[in-house]
A and B are shown apart, each in its own frame.
Chain A
Amino acid sequence: MAKFNKKKSSELPAINTSSLPDIVFMLLFFFMVATVMRQNTLKIQNVLPYADQVEKLDKKDLVMYIYAGKPSPRYRQSFGSEARIQLNDNFAEVSDIQQFIYSERESKREELVPFLTTALKVDHETNMGLVSDIKLELRKAEALKINYTTRTGDVGQNFE
Chain B
Amino acid sequence: MARRSSPEVNAGSLADIAFLLLIFFLVTTTIETDSGISRKLPPMQDENVEPPVIKEKNIFQVIVNRNNDLLVEDELMELKDLRSAAVAFLDNGGGVGPEACDYCQGAGDPTSSDNPTKAVIMLVNDRQTEYGTYIAVQNELVGAYNELRDRSARRLFGKSFQQMEADFKDVRYTGNKDRLKEQIEQVRDMWPQKLSEADPKN
A residues near B, CB below 8 A?
17-18, 20-21, 24-25, 27-28, 31-32, 34-38, 49-58, 60, 63, 117, 119, 122-129, 131-132, 135, 138-140, 142, 144-150, 152, 155-156, 158-159
Within 8 A of A (CB), among B107-164: 125-136, 138-140, 142-143, 146
Q: For residue B135, which residues in chain A have a CB less than 8 angstroms away from its CB?
A: 49-51, 124, 148, 150, 155, 158
B29 within 8 Å of A (CB atoms): yes
Given A21-B18, A55-B37, A146-B38: A122 touches B44 (CB 8 Å cut-off): no
Inter-chain contact A38/B35, CB cutoff 8 Å: no
Do A21 and B29 touch (CB < 8 A)?
no
**A–B Cβ pairs within 8 angstroms, 24 of them:** A18-B11, A21-B14, A24-B19, A37-B28, A38-B30, A49-B131, A49-B132, A50-B135, A53-B146, A55-B35, A125-B132, A127-B130, A128-B125, A128-B128, A139-B42, A139-B43, A145-B40, A147-B38, A148-B135, A152-B35, A155-B135, A155-B139, A158-B132, A158-B136
Residues of B within 8 A of A53 (CB): 37, 139, 142-143, 146
Instruction: Output the least CB separation between B141 and chain A (Å).
Output: 9
Known: A125-B130, A145-B40, A149-B36. A21 touches B142 (CB 8 A): no
What's the Cα separation between A35 and B30 when bound, in Å? 6
| Bound-complex Cα distance A27 to B29 (A) | 13
Complex contact B35–A142 (CB within 8 A): no
